[in-house]
Amino acid sequence: MEDVKQIHAAESSHYRRFQQPYAAFHPAGYRRLLRAAALPDEGVILDVGGGSGAFGCELARNGRRLVIVCDLSRDLLLAGKHNYEGSGVVWIEADAARLPFADNCVDGILLGSVLHHFPDFGMVARECHRCLKPGGICASADPNGHNWMMWLLRNPASPLCSTAGRSDNERWLGAPEVARVFGGAGFEPAGRHGVRGVVYRLATFSAQEENPPPVARLMLATWNALERGLGMLPAAPFWLGSWMVLRFRKPGAV
């Protein structure tokens, strides 16, 4: 439990360095990832580890979902609540490994850019399984550990690894590990997608969002040009997506 608190404290400190509310992508990038997540159109949806609400507020736009953004960082939640006032989102300070909800009470759960920050996310998977109704969907979105572009950008072994937008807790994560952990928590697989066309904001490439160095602007422009091009392809293999979205279903009646 103490390890989880330390992880959250480090993540909160990292993201507070950026302009708030923090958003790594342009809105279209969040929408691409959420389309792949394919969470229920209605009911209660948890955005676990949702920070300042970039994913959660996109989820709430259809007006038929009750979206609850959960995060252990009060600062990030307050930033999101202030910026997205009137969004209808509920903001709750909560630990992803000890969610303050009853068993079998929510219709869908999103773990948006969360799992690759945990050395062991087994407790998170088990909590998601406990809170979901039978037939409910849990979807995770993380940098794709099978993608060469993401390897160049995010893997510490890469000479081009960008440390500006990378927290100390991040690690390299592949789909088999996610599938194994969620399967062990009682989920059944419900699909996976390699998502292309996710266009970034500057924070991923530079800790200085005002007057960033020219190399950061060049990296951002190059990356986004590649993403836009790949996003136009009608179909592509899983490894070509820079982000991976894995969907899991809690067994039982819908």
Model pLDDT, residue 156: 80
Is 207 inside any structural domain? yes
Would you say residue 68 lies in a domain?
yes
> How would you class 130 by CB atoms within 10 Å of its CB: exposed for 0-12, middle for 13-18, buried for 19 or more?
middle
Q: What is the pLDDT of residue 7?
A: 57
pLDDT at 11 over 60: no
Task: Tell me what percent of the residues of the chain surpass a pLDDT of 90.
Answer: 56
Collect all residues with Cβ–Cβ distance below 8 Å to 220 and sequence separation of at least 6: 200, 202, 204, 205, 206
Contact 93, 150 (CB under 8 A): no
Lowest-pLDDT range of 58-62, 110-114, 126-130: 58-62
Q: Give the number of domains in the chain.
A: 1
Are 194 and 144 in contact, with CB atoms under 8 Å apart? yes
pLDDT higher for 203 or 239? 239
Write out the residue range of the structural domain in which residue 188 sits. 2-249
The HSE-up count of residue 136 (CA atoms within 13 Å, CB side) is: 22
pLDDT score, position 72: 87
In a domain, 31, yes or no: yes
pLDDT at 206 over 60: no
pLDDT at 234 over 50: yes
Whole-angstrom Cα Rg for the chain: 17
Tokens found for residue 97: 């490994």
Of the listed ranges 140-144, 147-151, 216-220, the least confidently predicted one is 216-220
What does pTM read for this prediction?
Answer: 0.89
The overall average pLDDT reported for the chain is 86
Q: At what angle do helices 74-83 and 2-15 cross, to 10 degrees?
A: 40
- Average pLDDT value for residue range 53-75: 90
Give 219 or 250, the one with higher predicted confidence: 250
Do the domain assignments include residue 221? yes
Residue 254 is predicted with a pLDDT of: 62
Is 16 among the domain residues? yes
pLDDT at 230 over 80: yes
CB 26 within 8 A of CB 199: yes
DSSP-assigned states of every residue in 59-94: HGGGSSEEEEEEES-HHHHHHHHHHTTTS--EEEE-
Note whether 37 and 245 are within 8 A (CB).
yes
- For the segment 65-75, the average pLDDT, to the nearest whole number, is 91
Task: Tell me whether residue 254 is in a domain.
Answer: no
Grade residue 75 by pLDDT with cuts at 50, 70 and 90. confident
Identify the H or E element spanning 250. none
- The tokens for 95 are 């630990």
Q: Is residue 83 part of a domain?
A: yes
- Whether residue 199 is contained in a domain is answered as yes
pLDDT digits (tens, 9 = 90+) for 98-107: 999 999 999 9
Distances (CA, A) of 244 to 31, 176, 202, 238, 241: 14, 11, 21, 8, 7
CATH number for the domain including 204? Answer: 3.40.50.150
Query: Could you give phi then psi for residue 106, rounded to 5 degrees?
Result: -120, 155
* pLDDT at site 15: 54
